[in-house]
A and B are shown apart, each in its own frame.
Chain A
Amino acid sequence: FSTFPGMPKWRKNHLTYRIVNYTQDLPRAAVDSAIKKALKVWEGVTPLTFTRMLEGEADIMISFAVREHGDFYPFDGPGNRLAHAYPPGPEFYGDVHFDDDEKWTEDASGTNLFLVAAHELGHSLGLFHSTDTKALMYPLYNSFTDLTRFRLSQDDVDGIQFLYGPPPPSPAEPEVPAESSPLESGTLVKCDPALSFDAVSTLRGEILFFKNRYFWRKLHWKPQPELNLISTFWPSLPSDLDAAYEVISKDAVFIFKGRKFWEVRGNDVQAGYPRSIHTLGFPATIRKIDAAVSDKEKKKTYFFTEDKYWRFDEKSQSMEKGFPRFIADDFPGVDGKVDAVLQAFGFFYFFSGSTQFEFDPNARKVTHVLKSNSWLMC
């Protein structure tokens, strides 16, 4: 599963919806029923509830339209694009639009309204598309779905509960502490003083702080960092990364996990990856790296493994002789295993657990010791 960029979600559990207009393909009652049934699909696995409004501005406005319909995402006649929806938020966000050039039906003889509505409402709640071909949130319409036994896939349930957690225990069930979603359950509180990072990298002027399957994205024009799933932008990358660094001259970010590494440019994972880290010149004894950073001035990339580091020459594309060297010898004061390294403002920032060492390469000394999450406005 994945969520929209910035991970928008409703900040309340009781949402409203309104069916603004109707298709001529079906009786109104059939449309009402299909929408209600589609909402129940999500209600059943979350704390969310949906109340219908007959007028005014509801959170989720549902309408039928053809071709250009005022949102710069025109429909395209019969087939191809069936519908679209917007992620949670004010005004047109959260809304669902159905292409009325489709033949909307209650069964599978045409385009089943319930099935498409359940998918689009997944978007209205904050889910992006899934690569799981069995998931409701898979982008292609599956006309062979057995409508009589429709069920969300585990991927759909994992996705929506990642955002909203599971439904509250019903009165009959024993009171168990409702496990909230990872966002609330503390596993991902950005100002947790114990927070550490898996990897940190710049990317086209932004700074990315990777943790588990997520990353915080620090945009210089936005004080608050944005939390995203790695899969939202790079569906093929793994989670729990080891290291990441940007080579600005190549407009590329290199991502490491275990013996493999990937090159990404913006959204695009470059062809021919993953490659083995040993192609960079590491001996076979090295099974992973802990951290990496590329010095754009010197055109050297530093790789950190346990208590040593290596230096890679970006011009000759080769590991330099005389390495590895002890980190303590050349970066005095940087203690402990290095989780991640960032170069900014002429300093190197070494992240080790919840501690961050600001290192001045000219003075060759640690100038500040900070909390790792100081970059996240904590």
Chain B
Amino acid sequence: YPLNGAVKEENPNMDFAQKYLKNYYNLAKDVNQVYRRKDNGPVVKKIQEMQKFLGLEVTGKLDSNTLEVIRKPRCGVPDVGQ
């Protein structure tokens, strides 16, 4: 486990969000929630990118609005080119 931070308890929202970001925003497949770093840089950046693309307020956080939107039915094609 990373020395600089205990693995936080599982967060189902974060799991779902990371899967969403991997499917649609090229979040690297190796960004693994087990080794969750303190700053969680890549995931925060991807959350911001997704919020901007979908026209949400760019907070970088899984606020309720963002969680509601990523649970909406959608097209399976990614939102950003590989």
Q: Quick check: B74 and A140 within 8 Å, CB to CB? A: yes
- A111 and B73 in contact, given A140-B54, A268-B49 (Cβ under 8 angstroms): yes
Q: Quick check: B74 and A81 within 8 Å, CB to CB? A: yes
Residue on B with the closest CB to A76?
A: B76
User: Could you give 10 example pairs across A and B, Cβ below 8 Å?
Assistant: A2-B81, A73-B76, A83-B76, A111-B73, A131-B54, A139-B24, A139-B79, A140-B54, A266-B26, A268-B49
Contacts of A120 in B (CB 8 A): 75
Residue on A with the closest CB to B23?
A: A81
Q: How far is A338 from B72 in the complex, measured between Cα atoms in Å?
A: 48
Q: How far is A228 from B48 in the complex, measured between Cα atoms in Å?
A: 23
Q: Quick check: B81 and A128 within 8 Å, CB to CB? A: yes
- A267 and B73 in contact, given A133-B55, A139-B24, A236-B52 (Cβ under 8 angstroms): no
Report if B69 contacts A (CB, 8 A). Answer: yes
- A271 and B75 in contact, given A140-B54, A228-B81 (Cβ under 8 angstroms): no
- A4 and B81 in contact, given A140-B54, A140-B69, A267-B26 (Cβ under 8 angstroms): yes
Q: Quick check: A271 and B81 within 8 Å, CB to CB? A: no
Within 8 A of B (CB), among A94-136: 99, 102, 111, 116, 119-120, 123, 128-129, 131, 133
Contacts of A270 in B (CB 8 A): 45
Q: Quick check: A5 and B49 within 8 Å, CB to CB? A: no
- A129 and B69 in contact, given A5-B82, A139-B24, A267-B26 (Cβ under 8 angstroms): no
Q: How far is A81 from B79 in the complex, measured between Cα atoms in Å?
A: 13
Report if B3 contacts A (CB, 8 A). Answer: no
How many residues of chain A are within 8 Å of chain B by beta carbon?
38
Known: A120-B75, A140-B72, A233-B80. 14 other contacts (CB 8 A): A73-B76, A79-B73, A81-B73, A83-B75, A84-B76, A85-B77, A139-B24, A139-B54, A140-B73, A141-B73, A141-B75, A232-B81, A268-B45, A270-B45
Within 8 A of A (CB), among B34-62: 44-46, 48-49, 52-55, 60
B residues touching A (Cβ–Cβ < 8 Å)? Answer: 24, 26, 44-46, 48-49, 52-55, 60, 69, 71-82
Q: How far is the CB of A270 from chain B (nearest CB, A)?
A: 7
Report if A187 contacts B (CB, 8 A). Answer: no
Contacts of A82 in B (CB 8 A): 73-76
Within 8 A of B (CB), among A55-103: 73, 75, 79-85, 99, 102
What number of residue pairs across chains A and B have CB atoms under 8 A from each other?
88
Residue on B with the closest CB to A87?
A: B77
Q: How far is the CB of B31 from chain A (nearest CB, A)?
A: 12
Contacts of A269 in B (CB 8 A): 49
- A119 and B75 in contact, given A139-B24, A269-B49 (Cβ under 8 angstroms): yes
Contacts of B60 in A (CB 8 A): 271
Q: How far is the CB of A216 from chain B (nearest CB, A)?
A: 15
Q: How far is the CB of B70 from chain A (nearest CB, A)?
A: 9
Q: How far is A5 from B79 in the complex, measured between Cα atoms in Å?
A: 11
Q: Quick check: B72 and A141 within 8 Å, CB to CB? A: yes
Contacts of B24 in A (CB 8 A): 139
Q: Quick check: B77 and A84 within 8 Å, CB to CB? A: yes
Q: Quick check: A81 and B76 within 8 Å, CB to CB? A: yes
Q: How far is the CB of A183 from chain B (nearest CB, A)?
A: 18
Of B46, B69, B81, which contacts A5 at CB under 8 A?
B81
Contacts of B74 in A (CB 8 A): 80-82, 139-141
Of B54, B76, B77, B78, which contacts A75 at CB under 8 A?
B76
Contacts of B81 in A (CB 8 A): 2, 4-5, 128, 228, 232-233, 267
Q: How far is A228 from B73 in the complex, measured between Cα atoms in Å?
A: 28
Q: How far is the CB of B45 from chain A (nearest CB, A)?
A: 6
